[in-house]
Amino acid sequence: MHHQLTQLLPGLRRFAFSLTGSRLEADDLLQGTVERLLRRGPPEGVGFEPWAFRVCRNLWIDECRAHRVRRDAARQPELSEGQVVDGERALASQVELDQVDAAMAKLPEGQREIIAMVAVQGMSYQAVSESLEIPRGTVMSRLARARAALSAMLHTESARTQA
């Protein structure tokens, strides 16, 4: 399992980054994922790679829920003593990467995670289907919608910058 995990780390980090949009948060998510993977072995009959991506995704969902609770608590002064600071930083200096990142961020979460797994990670539709526990047809339709939306957003942004 340790060898498989070592081979999978770069892909898991890219996936974590695609979910979080922040290198620091992606590293934290990756660390949490690795801790969980090492603490628990994959369930019987489940492939290591799909399971690892599912663990990463589930940890991200848990973090989003916790963030929402903290944000709501911060809006109620009696529950918070200090000021909430958003520590997310600008990611890349290259214009094209910024445009793609911005376009990816506008996608619905379901489309964003699927396009990250298929286009960025190079995972098969079946592996994505198993990782997210959704039908293969759903993977294909979300991917098609995500690609069309990204293409339209990037085309619009390109036309805007050329004008």
pLDDT of residue 61: 86
d(CA 54, CA 144): 21
Task: Tell me the whole-structure pTM to 2 decimals.
Answer: 0.52
**Would the CA dihedral through 8, 11, 17, 19 be positive or negative?**
negative
pLDDT of residue 135: 93
CB 136 within 8 A of CB 125: yes
CB 116 within 8 A of CB 18: yes
pLDDT, tens digit (0-9, with 9 covering 90-100), for 105-159: 888 888 888 988 888 788 889 989 998 899 999 999 999 999 898 888 888 765 6
Is the domain 91-163 a CATH 3.40.50.300 member?
no
Check residues 83 and 4 and name the one with the higher pLDDT: 4
Place of tokens 């600008």: 90
pLDDT, tens digit (0-9, with 9 covering 90-100), for 13-50: 999 998 888 899 999 999 999 999 888 878 888 888 88
Domain residue ranges of the chain, discontinuous segments joined by +: 1-89, 91-163
d(CA 14, CA 18): 6
